[in-house]
Chain A
Amino acid sequence: MAISKFPIEAGHIVLFARAVGDDNPIYHDADYAKTTEPGATVAPPTFTMASAQFDPDYPLRPKNGQTWFGSGKEPTGLQRKEGSGGGGGGGGLHAEQHFEYHRHINPGDVLTATVKPGKTWEKEGRRSGKLVFSETVTEYRDQKGELVITARGVGVRTERPVDQN
Chain B
Amino acid sequence: MALSARNLKVGDTYQEQIVENLTRTRLVQYAGASGDYNPVHTDEIFTTKVAGYPSVFAHGMLTMGMTGKMLTNYVGDGRLTKYGVRFTRQVWPGDTLTATAQVETIREEGGVHFVDLIVSTVNQDGAEVVSGYASARVDP
Contacts and interface: CB of A to CB of B under 8 A. Distances in A.
Contact of A100 (B69, B76, B81): B81
B5 interface: no
A87 B51 contact: yes
Interface in B51-80: 51-54, 59-62, 64-66, 68-69, 71-73, 76-80
Contacts of B29: 15, 18-19
Given A97-B61, A97-B64, A87 B38 contact: yes
Interface in B17-54: 18-19, 26, 29-30, 32-41, 43, 45-47, 49-54
Nearest to A41: B77
A70 B39 CA distance: 6
A87 B40 contact: yes
Contacts of B80: 45, 99, 101, 104
Contacts of B32: 15, 19
A70 B30 CA distance: 17
A60 B45 contact: no
Contact of B83 (A45, A61, A89): A45
Contacts of B60: 93-94, 97
A119 interface: no
Interface residues on A, range: 35 or more
B46 A71 contact: yes
Contacts of B43: 70-71
A99 B45 contact: no
Which of the listed residues B26, B77, B83 has the most CB atoms from chain A within 10 Å of its own CB? B77
B52 A89 contact: yes
A123 to B, nearest CB: 13
Interface of A: 12, 15-16, 18-22, 24, 26, 36-38, 42, 44-46, 49-53, 58, 60-62, 69-71, 74-75, 85-89, 91, 93-101, 104, 152, 160-162, 164
Given A46-B83, A71-B49, 13 more contacts: A24-B72, A36-B77, A42-B78, A49-B61, A50-B34, A51-B35, A53-B35, A70-B46, A89-B52, A94-B61, A96-B86, A97-B64, A98-B85
Which 6 pairs between the two chains have the least Cβ-Cβ distance?
A: A70-B39, A98-B84, A20-B65, A88-B51, A53-B35, A52-B35
